[in-house]
Amino acid sequence: MDKTIGIFGGGQLGRMMAQAALPLNIQCTFFEANTDCPSAALGPVYSAKAENGLSEFIASADVFSLEFENTPLADVDVLTKNKTLHPPRQALAIAQHRLSEKALFDELAIPVAPYKAVTSLEQLKSAAAELGLPLVLKTSRGGYDGKGQFVLRSEDQMDQAWAELGPAGELIAESFVTFSREVSIIAVRGQNGDVKTWSLAENHHHNGILSHSIVPAPNSADLQPVAQDYITRLLNHLNYIGVLTLELFVTDKGLYANEMAPRVHNSGHWSIEGAVCSQFENHIRAVAGLPLGSTAVVRPTVMVNIIGLHPKTADVLALEGAHLHLYNKSEREGRKIGHITLMPNDSAELTALCRQLAKILPNPLALSEDMTI
């Protein structure tokens, strides 16, 4: 099939989508403020800063997708006058507004932590009285990798929390959920309504940024069908096409939804080597109207993000069962600049690999040596 897919955004997710598209004879173009972006090596980049950048981008492709949920809706509205975007605008709009997202979860009977809308300091105090402390205060729009939120633990933090987040406008206050771990479910829906899901990933964070994911998530056989049901409800309700991600908390009352991402996701990078068909290839297949591929796990996998500083390539590749993915991004504190996929044979081998990797990474993450697969 000869087709061109236009992608809003030119970061590493767009880069990996384009890499998956090439074997299918599908080309990608990109719309990005920075034309020297990670995706630049994979196809033409149209500048969001140029006067005619958007119109040239729209003319460059047959069908369109995105790599980031903060894609401006105004740009999407111009595009969809004449071209098709997958996923649908509705999914993007909901994902950009946390209160709308929570309302959708409520509508579909997907459990969430109790929450309240907050637009003033007085409403924050009222929400704290009703929901109890601690609570998590978040901006309704924006925020990424731990940004745009404040954990309010005591009443004397009220003024500080409001001073930090209040200027952002509408906020959401959520009850603090006591959870044992975070997991994510990633699924894809084709143009014929076919839905396929990957195994749950268990996600670990460091300084608010995803550090590593373990797939299949250990001890999650009973959680998989529940998570699968929740994300299928979302996909079908939204008439969604492409890959969708749902982040979930594991609590003593079951799974609670945290948020959804209408795109391929960091916790699914493992699937490039660890699944029969990766999240990136299946997203491209769905957007292009092709049959979906198997999401079965090839073997247990651990994905480790490279954050801030690059390791020595040779050191990583010397590890048995390690796959290195670099994004052509410059080093910067807190920035995701690559990832490493580990595919050990057993838990003992995983422990050894984690010990070796901790010595190799110049900015080591909180890798546990007692991880199990």
In a domain, 152, yes or no: yes
Mean of all residue pLDDT scores within the chain: 94
Domain end marker among 175, 205, 228: 175
- Is 143 among the annotated ligand-binding positions? yes
Torsion of CA 125, 127, 129, 132, to 10 degrees: -120
- Is 327 among the annotated ligand-binding positions? no
Do both 266 and 347 map to the same domain? yes
CA distance 278 to 293: 8
In a domain, 276, yes or no: yes
- Is 174 among the annotated ligand-binding positions? yes
Each residue's pLDDT tens digit, 84-95: 999 999 999 999
Each residue's pLDDT tens digit, 64-73: 999 999 999 9
pLDDT of residue 359: 87
Each residue's pLDDT tens digit, 94-122: 999 999 999 999 999 999 999 999 999 99
**Residue 45: band (very low, low, confident or very high) from pLDDT cuts 50, 70, 90:** very high
In a domain, 98, yes or no: no
In a domain, 369, yes or no: no
Q: How many residues does the chain have?
A: 373
- Is 256 among the annotated ligand-binding positions? no
Do both 230 and 129 map to the same domain? no
Do both 124 and 75 map to the same domain? no
- Is 282 among the annotated ligand-binding positions? no
CA distance 136 to 138: 6
Do both 310 and 256 map to the same domain? yes
- Is 115 among the annotated ligand-binding positions? no
Number of Cβ within 10 Å of residue 188's Cβ equals 28
pTM: 0.94
pLDDT of residue 167: 86
Do both 260 and 136 map to the same domain? no
Mean pLDDT of 306-313: 95
Domain that includes residue 342, residue range: 181-360
pLDDT of residue 253: 94
- Is 149 among the annotated ligand-binding positions? yes
- Is 176 among the annotated ligand-binding positions? yes
Do both 303 and 220 map to the same domain? yes
Do both 129 and 80 map to the same domain? no
- Is 175 among the annotated ligand-binding positions? yes
Q: Is 195 buried (19+), middle (13-18) or exposed (0-12) by CB count in 10 A?
A: middle
- Is 205 among the annotated ligand-binding positions? yes
In a domain, 23, yes or no: yes
Domain end marker among 147, 175, 203: 175
Mean pLDDT of 139-162: 85
In a domain, 90, yes or no: no
In a domain, 104, yes or no: no
Do both 196 and 340 map to the same domain? yes
pLDDT at 2 over 80: no
Task: Give the CB-side neighbour count of residue 206, counting CA atoms within 13 A.
Answer: 18
In a domain, 94, yes or no: no
In degrees rounded to 5, what are phi and psi of residue 149?
-150, 160
Domain end marker among 175, 192, 217: 175
Do both 155 and 208 map to the same domain? no
- Is 147 among the annotated ligand-binding positions? yes
